[in-house]
Structure 1
Amino acid sequence: MSTWPDTRILDLLGIQLPIIQAPMAGATGPAMVIAASAAGALGSMPAAALSLEQLRAALTTIRQGSTRPLNVNFFCHQPPPADAERDRQWKNLLEPYYRELGADFDAPTPVSNRAPFNIGACEVVEEFRPEVVSFHFGLPEKSLLDRVKATGAKVLSTATTVEEAIWLEQRGCDAIIAMGYEAGGHRGMFLTEDLSSQIGTLALVPQIVDAVSVPVIAAGGIADARGIVAAFALGASAVQIGTAYLFTPEAKVTPSHHHALRNTQASDTALTNLFTGRPARGIINRVMRELGPINLSAPAFPLSGGALMPLKAKDEAGFSNLWSGQALRLCKDLSTYEFTRTLAVQALEQLKRT
């Protein structure tokens, strides 16, 4: 394709298009990663919801199906200390739903977990040597980060504030993902828990661009060519797109999630901590409406989802996380490959006219 106005990310990551397919835990599998990579974008495999054996199997499939650069994404949270009293209060709050739906309230509560980056995960990186390793919720401890960088991988991480971006650059990130308030899924915030600190993509990207020397990747509210053009105008070198890829046949979404994405207004999303204990943007459903999207009773990340699992099994639409960003009404039903290529062609055409 024709030359993009800023090729720093293309040169840094060895990709053809300044587009990163977002690593969406649960919804992204090898098929999406391979298709996005084939189209020239950076395919991204999420690891947080996978065991090490599952991750190895996924990466083996991807390496067999693609020779293009690969991004593997990890969470960097610290597992919370046990808090039996908070867990009990949370389940008690949900008891009326258990009774209504016929779920067994007295059965042991299922475990909801997300694996943080650790020695085992680092060994998988050393084994498969992905060209890019990205992190959410900050960065791992220095010894592990040094081992990742020693493989030759370029390191990306998410910033939701200027302060986080500066922190990431100072600790060796090769590029910063500037995640605006509009983005779906978990907020990447890690220096603060104050949601009032979170700002939109339009304001966040240029401030981070001005504050750091490494390339910046815009994320949040970008689902069509206009969003890419705007990101370049703000000083970004690339975009990361998530919600739009949930509309592709390669996305592993439940029937309820599939229906909600196509029948929900853009105003019907909210940040919620109910499903994991950490703020994440999703489509408003019954439990979010009735308990409030942010509820201080929810156990710390990633534990709150356990007590919701029996309810989700009875009423998936009302009690499961339906992650989505605010740009969902811009999304189209296209294959991952077709969407990525169409997006790039249209963006270049618009850039020529600017």
Structure 2
Amino acid sequence: MKLLKTLMAGAALVVGLGGMAHAQDKTKVGFVYVGPVGDFGWSYEHDQGRKAVEEAFGDKVETTFVESVPEGADSERVMTQMALSGAKLIFTTSFGYMDPTINVAKKFPDVKFEHATGYKQADNVSTYSARFYEGRSVIGHIAGHMTETDTIGYIASFPIPEVIRGINASYLAAKAVNPDVKMKIVWVYTWFDPGKEADAATALIEQGADIIMQHTDSPAAMTIAEEKGILAFGQASDMKQFGPNARLSSIIDNWAPYYIARTQAVMDGTWESGNTWDGIKEGMVEIGEFSDKIPADVQASATALKDGIVAGTTHSFTGPINKQDGTPWLAEGETADDGTLATMNFYVEGIEGEIPQ
């Protein structure tokens, strides 16, 4: 009898320990980055969001990340390994991860996937992005006022709607305050390549640009602007440390609230597939501190523009606007709908050059 009681007590202890282990199971969350976390731009800010998840949930979560993952088959292998390693939620943070995300999600229906900047969804795949174009309207407004050569340079990554939308929004805002403004565009066909980005900035300066914008991920262009004595804007993160004299302001991506909310949803069992497209109002897009180089009246008008976007009284794409070939797009007072913006594949009137195919 004593032996039986001992065995039963031991069994109870094992069950108890098993229950404790189960209670202490962590929610594993994975992040896939297209660039290095030290790019001080796009991937850096996504990683700040990952760190915010750790801070918010402590030992209830375990996060992992893989950086500098090429878009394509390599990303599919990384996502698969994350799922096999027990990740319950995986954030895939670049447009080119769209099809790989869908492919891997089919193999792991119990894993939740969040794809940034894409448009394909599934029962276990959500999409999310930020209305970067709103921020580009604000910095375009500043650039239009500040350029002395009437020439703004723009470093573009890939000819996808997100990038084209940003070019158009920047140009329209600059044109609204400076009818003589021109925009020079260099396509670099990469998200992160400091050498190519630096070369593009140099080429734009040689074409007369005295202000540089970018839709790429490194601070290389800011560094060149600092060296050449011209002006620039931070992209994805503040970048002030790379151009303390050059930087006028910045567009800052703030992913932390979204990442925390979606992780909480997985932990609560309330996660559902959907599409999120937030902007300045929701705090996913932030405008960096204004440089003292920006005159007080321009700071005030840029702030008013931002406030109008937040209030919903101002839209980055408000007619009359024609397409590049002169055909009407938006009538007087008409604003672009999200469907058109999400698939934008044309320049607006006044922008020179062609969109690469």
TM-score (norm 2): 0.31
TM-score (norm 1): 0.31
Query: Rg: which structure is higher?
Result: 2
